[in-house]
Amino acid sequence: MPAADATAEEVFATLPLHAKAAQLVMPWIAGGYAAFDDPALLRAARWVDSLGVGGIIVSIGSPLEVASRLNHLQGRAAVPLLVASDLEAGTAIRLTGGTPFPTNMGVGAAGREQDAWEMGRITALEGRAVGIHLTFSPVADVNNNPANPIINTRSFGEDPAAVGRLVSAAVRGTQAHGMLATAKHFPGHGDTGTDSHIALPVIPADWARLDSVELVPFRAAVAAGVAAVMSAHVAMPALAGGDPRAATVSPAILGGVLRDSLGFEGLAVTDALDMGALVSAYGPGEAAVLALEAGADLLLQPADPVAAVDAVARAVEAGRIPEARLDRSVRKLLAIKERLGLYRERLVPLDSVPARVGVQANQAVAADLARRAIVLVRDSLGAVDSLRARPGELSLLLYGDETSPTAGRSLAAELRRLGRVPTVVRLGPASGPASYDSARAVLAAERPVVVAAAVRVSAWRGTLGLPDSLAALITATAATRVTTLVSLGSPYLLLQVPGVHGYVLAWSAGPTSEAAVAAALAGQAPITGRLPIGIPPFYAVGHGLQRGGTE
């Protein structure tokens, strides 16, 4: 292991070719509890101590579970690991008990740069407490395609300048508090109708369009000093001399646009190399080699880490990739580890985790943002105003997709606490005719109807919207009852049920956002959010009906 006072260059001098290739590979591991002899943990340990990978990507677990697992693996590594995680919208997306912010689009609806900075600050402090050094956030994509099945609320919005300001603030808030930020997905994944986990999206954008829309937030991130930029598995042939390959393996895009045009000198990281848009075309080894050739520095989540390392080493030995090219990326990574202080101390104290992750001060910041992120898009027939004006009975239909099976539970409880009397019925993706008949009977009663639906981005699904059967039920109900739809996810659900009278956006499910919705519907909080995206053909960016508190 390197000495505590080792420099990056001293560490670099100890690495043979295969070890240098391994430094650029970052496989994925689960974050939950596992015994030391658990097969998955043993496999991860072999990646660390035998293969010698330079970092790992950690997924979902409790803060203490994640910290303990990372300490265990760090203790086995010859060179300290750079640990990364996808912490979009705060640590709660990965750390059970972490602080849950609304999605980025909710931050855009609140409209304050300070909110993005605070989200970055709290994410950095909580993530570093468990041993995470690099977050794959913020999302810098401009979501200008309502049919996009994979970006949606992960984006701050569709106005490039506004997105750029929020991206810059998030980068600064994150990096000022000890965590490296990543702007993604370069050069822009917002105008796609295809999920790149499944297939390769093709964007027929020319330079003028890219320069004025997609690149604006990435330029802002680079100006803010972002440490890393993640490539997108999307093709932009017009920018790459007709090359139909993904940006991740395109020298014209990673080199010509990112490095030369934007002047980015930090870490270029790939999106996950096991995604269908890439691995199905090239296989795990060749995908890694092509990405390194194109200009990537870190090779994330290859389908087979051993194959990826071996393929890179063979490519250097065969002269396909100059060793100086490999060395440049390895030196960059080792220098970042030195800057993070990992040669001095790579472990985190477990007893400090509960004092730093999910604490009340952080929760209060997120709750305040969730309240200000609520957008009242439509209120015909006074659907929402009447709910806010006085307590009373209502029919509450809850729907959660595969990602949110308990969506609305906190909303129902909070409405009861605030004096409303909801009769609750729940539907889900697996609900059949009998369940729909029960829901139809509840909604037929003489009382206002509120439908709360969580339809959220989910990798590998390829679509994003209400089931046709649910959309038909809502439409039929709105023909006879005053009906309000609350979206706990995608803002575009109105396009499927244009006849609803009230439309409220809350951006995410979970106790924090649902408490904010309940306060808004019960008139105990003002509604001040504005659309960061348009909902064509009904509403433009910036629309939002404003309401003050009534109680």
Active site members: 197, 271
DSSP 24: T
Tokens encoding 176: 């000022």
Tokens encoding 142: 């401009």
Tokens 């997924």 appear where? Answer: 59
How many Å apart are CA 32 and CA 61, to the nearest integer?
4
Nearest to 218 by CA among 173, 174, 240, 186: 186
Nearest to 21 by CA among 271, 268, 285, 277: 285
Q: With the CA atoms of 123, 125, 129 and 131 taken in that order, what torsion angle do they form, in degrees rounded to the nearest 10?
A: 60
Q: Which helix (H) or strand (E) holds 483?
A: strand 483-487
Helix axes 215-223, 160-175, angle to 10 degrees: 30
How many Å apart are CA 106 and CA 104, to the nearest integer?
5
Q: Give the ranges where 29-176 is alpha helix by DSSP (H).
A: 39-46, 63-76, 104-110, 113-130, 160-175
How many Å apart are CA 272 and CA 300, to the nearest integer?
5
How many Å apart are CA 90 and CA 220, to the nearest integer?
21
Q: Give the ranges where 224-275 is alpha helix by DSSP (H).
A: 251
Tokens encoding 119: 């989200």
How many Å apart are CA 32 and CA 204, to the nearest integer?
42
Nearest to 539 by CA among 488, 489, 505: 505
How many Å apart are CA 252 and CA 373, to the nearest integer?
39
Tokens 């969730």 appear where? Answer: 370
